[in-house]
Structure 1
Amino acid sequence: MHLACIGRVAASGLFALLLAGSLSGGSAHAQLDSREAISLQDQILELRHEMRQMQSGGGEGSAPPMAPSSTSVDQGAGSPLTSQLLDRVSTLEAQVRDLRGQLDQLNNQVQQQNAALSKQIGDMSFAVQQAHPEGGVPGGNAGDAGPPPPPARPERRTPELALQQGNAALAHRDYAGAQAAAREVLAGPKGPRQTDAQFLLAQSLAGQRQYQQAATAYYDVYTHAPHSGRAPDALLGVSASLLALGDKTDACQALQKLRAEFPSPQPRVSRASLALRGRGGCR
């Protein structure tokens, strides 16, 4: 066979190869976008270019077209370039078949996964319908289900109950609970329990070693009710908090105020005042 004839056969084989490489639908187009398919397509284009050169007589070692003869047939059949081209065409055809097989396998996997997912969705929908027929609750009718009940409103403690529970928390050294109860009463309406709540707040702050806030809270008790039974204890609390902060001068002034305004305190207050004077070095 003449070299030009072999070129036409190889070109026809390339055309069939390109037609097979186009595959079908969007899946084949996506496959050609891969690196392997792009490289394969470049090789096919290169082969087509070489074939055209051979047909036009411009390839290396080729002869101008002439009438076929025994000599030209032997030369064309034994040409190393022709053998290489035929080998490359065969290799490319095998690669296309492999790629097509991989694509078919991927498509089958996707179809199987879609079928399994659809079945799961159908089973779940059936189970929901069986559990809630007609949108109602299980075992009942849709019309039997009424609106959900409103959330229960938390019962507000009375000031007396809050103080009772706050003092109990203070006795158990639950200073955070005592502070919460005191602030609850202070946030409510003004009443006779406000002074007791303020004193409980000061005690809870002192128990948490927040001495600066405790001193302020104790002094608020004294300023709001200077003649109440809580006033002497409030001044003691001011002095003790200031001593904890290292402020002996102001602590002694609070004790001096206690002595001036309450010259005859209860024995308990007197003993506490004497102990604080000793700690502060008061005169």
Structure 2
Amino acid sequence: MTKHHITLAGAAAIAIAVAAPVALAQDATVAKRVDKLEKEMRAVQRQVFPGGAPAFFEGEIAPDATPGQVVKSNSPVADLTARVDALESQLRALTGQTEQNAFQLRELEKQFAAYKAEMDKRVPPAAAGEPAATPASLPVVAAPRPAAPTPAPAATATPPKKPATPPAASAGKPDAARLALVKKVEIPSSGNEQQDAYDYGFRLWSAKLYPEAQAQLKTVVAKWPKSSQASYAQNLLGRAYLDDGKPSLAAVAFYNNYKDRPDGPRAPHSLMYMGIALDKLGRKADACKAFRELDEVYGTKAPQDVRTDAAAAKAKAGC
């Protein structure tokens, strides 16, 4: 009898001794998987919300040599394992979505780069100042307040007698009637050479003396290429080409202004007018690309008049 009890007691002790390490091993395996999951989740959070919260840490994911095993039991360990499995599944889905978003972003960047390259090929950057045409309904570029009258313009410091560059713009010898019209345009003399030069070009454009205005505005851009005034002058140069019936040169002038001075005060205007010029050339697909780029690059930052005119121009081009 005593021997029998001793034998049973020994067997129970052995069973407990064997079961304990198994339970401990299962707990350790689940704890490992939870740790790994937390690390991976933090890595995904850093990818999806970079720098979003101070709780994010540096990458700490390393391959696990002992993959987890499902514990088939009704114990709390089994419940925890099921929850870990669900978490792993969600993490895989989130990782897949992040990778998909990154891929789409790369594709968008490629398309945009291809469009830029295509525009560079189609619109040769050489003709920064040449002809184009535009509808009368287009808004007039708001010139910075015209300066007070008096001789001493930007390009040729000689009073109403010989304006800066205009006469040279008439291809051959300007006739007397043309010269008389040019002389009627008052040359500003406020003491600000850069402003006066632009204002004089604006006045020539307003007087519909387009070749003279083009020559004067080119002078402003060449002399002060980095100034904000250059953005106004290059945009108005494109307008002068458009109004002069030369849409191809206008498209070039507008494109150069947008490309060289994307942050300039008249960059959104130039992008919108480039679309109009391309539409006049019968290149509707390219015109629509220009209007689309206006929306993508400037959006609501573009002045209201530009957005209004762009909407009308898009409808006209059938975009």
Provide the TM-score with structure 1 as the length reference: 0.43
Higher relative contact order (CA 8 A, sep 6+): 2
Q: Which structure's CA Rg is the greater one?
A: 1
Q: Which has a greater percent of helix?
A: 1
Provide the TM-score with structure 2 as the length reference: 0.38
